Amino acid sequence: MSKQRLDAAFQRVAEAGEKAFVPYIMAGDGGLDTLKEKILFLQEAGVTAIELGIPFSDPVADGPTIQEAGKRALAKGTSLKGVLQYLTEIKGDFSVPILLMTYINPVFKYGLENFVEDAQQAGVSGMIIPDLPIEQSDLIAPLMKKKDIALIQLATLTSPEERLKKIASESEGFLYAVTVNGITGARSKVNENLDMYLKRIKQYSKTPVLAGFGISTPEQVKEIGSTCDGVIVGSKIISLWDAGELEAIKALVQAAKE
């Protein structure tokens, strides 16, 4: 039921005439025992799904805010296996779809089949693996298909047209449209070419298109969401959580519904 849960969540959002909102949080930041509380808060706030980062010593796509969250989580002893075991224990306590964001190295170390099996047991609906290019996705995609877990593809502003079409045709769950050239992190301005880029991806994609990287205000959520099916917000969510500004997190989620 994993991927179906994600598809159903997007369908509900579309039928309500709203935009999807997917927050990113780092598993184990503040200790793994705080994760259930965070998931329940975000579910109550009305998010569509939750992207759950797995801390890794050598992240290639993460900006300073997420890197620091990852360091804090690693210092607490957080591991991929530990996260999946914890999710397996608490999965009956929430209904929001969970997406794992991890790099391919920890997955190889875990063992591909064992990883996909344990992810299914943990109720994971989808997977984002930024350093696994589409050309190598066959390493894990068939295993995930068997377990009904979506392999979410990333498209970038610099992706050539033909590659964009291939990524769009193979993405499951949703297509992650990276909205900046570079790493994650809150930004004050939206890329001026973004509108055209998102419209182009929408034209090719058979799944919802969500924009992520650099989105940090309710105004940006509305502006960027108006051209696609929803947004992903990471660094800003982590910063607000650190500052205890939970109402500001709710305001970001609410902006996708307006």
Respond yes or no: is residue 51 known to be catalytic. yes
- 2-152+215-255 CATH: 3.20.20.70
Confidence of residue 1 (pLDDT cuts 50, 70, 90): low
pLDDT exceeds 50 at position 187: no
> 201-237: per-residue pLDDT in tens?
999 999 999 999 889 999 999 999 999 999 999 999 9
Segment 70-74 shows an average pLDDT of 93
pLDDT exceeds 70 at position 153: yes
Dmax (CA) of the chain: 45
Active-site hit among 7, 62, 172, 229: 62
For the chain, the structural domain boundaries read 2-152+215-255
Respond yes or no: is residue 62 known to be catalytic. yes
> 99-116: per-residue pLDDT in tens?
999 999 999 999 999 999
Confidence (pLDDT) at 192: 64
Active-site hit among 7, 29, 51, 172: 51
